[in-house]
Amino acid sequence: MFKEGVLVSAYPGPWVEAWLSQPRFARYIRDCGGDRMLALRTYEWNIQLAYALMRDAAHFEVALRNAYDRAFTAYWNGSSHWLLDAASPVQRSLWRHVRGRRLDVNVPNRKAIAIAVRKAGSLLPDAVVSQLTLGFWEHLSDAVHEQTIWIPCIYYAWPKGTSRAQIDQGIHLISTARNRAAHNEPIYTGFGSYAVLNIQATINQMLVMLDPDLAAYVQQTSTVTDIWLSRPKS
């Protein structure tokens, strides 16, 4: 992990806390029994693990958004693309009582689509689809959209009999872990169900449901397990 010939004894100096912050590096020091060098090596290892996990999660995200786009395209017969049509179930007002308040639960969808259009600089559907975040696709499988989106449409992107709640939970787990990884947070220990090997298993399980061939490819080319097994030791 460190280049040969580098004076490794200089690595654990106070510049590490200036770089990572004292609270962040302290977490690694605690996990490494007070060994600052091992803590720094573990931080670097965690970054490698995060990159590997984000790669697998990115492949899942692309597969998910394209599967949902195909399902919506087959279902929707409006005057324009399902993302851009104001009458689409992802755009039109959908009023629900949420924690005692009456809310239009499609407001986040409309905001996300508007942002994606601006980023794409285009109204071409493919360009807009590629700019939408995993959070947008996750929102489509939540409980408030069961009747308007899940049952008539995106249910068909999954094998017959698939539970909406199972899909919603799985996407949320992947999205949460991916966001932790993207922000360089520790993903190797703690955090209960967010343990990295559980996330990898969830990605694999969901890819199998979406496309078994793609699932096999991702599993065969993933480096998550190899990096997991290479954790630095004192």
- For residue 84, what are the CA distances in angstroms to 32, 157, 172, 190? 51, 20, 25, 41
Phi and psi of 137, rounded to 5°?
Answer: -65, -35
pLDDT at 99: 86
Q: What is the pLDDT of residues 68-114, one digit of tens each?
A: 999 999 999 999 999 999 999 999 999 998 889 999 999 999 999 99
Average pLDDT, the chain: 93
Secondary structure element (H or E) that encloses residue 88, with its range: none
Q: What is the pLDDT of residues 39-55, one digit of tens each?
A: 999 999 999 999 999 99
pLDDT at 12: 85
pLDDT at 87: 97
Q: Under a CB-based contact definition with an 8 Å cutoff, are residues 128 and 117 in contact?
A: yes
Q: Pick the range with the lowest mean pLDDT from 4-18, 35-49, 95-109, 193-207.
A: 4-18
Burial, 121: exposed, middle or buried (Cβ in 10 Å; 0-12, 13-18, 19+)? exposed
Residue in 178, 172, 182 with CA at minimum distance from that of residue 196: 178
User: The tokens of 121 are what?
Assistant: 């600089």
Task: Give me the helices (H) in the chain, please.
Answer: 15-20, 22-31, 36-75, 107-120, 125-131, 134-139, 164-182, 196-210, 212-221, 224-229
Is the pLDDT reported for residue 201 higher than 90? yes
Q: What is the pLDDT of residues 163-186, one digit of tens each?
A: 999 999 999 999 999 999 999 999
Note the Cα 79 to chain centre separation in Å: 32
Residues 181-193: what's their mean pLDDT? 78
Residue 62 has a CB neighbour count (10 Å cut-off) of 14
- Residue that is written with structure tokens 């992107």 in the block: 157
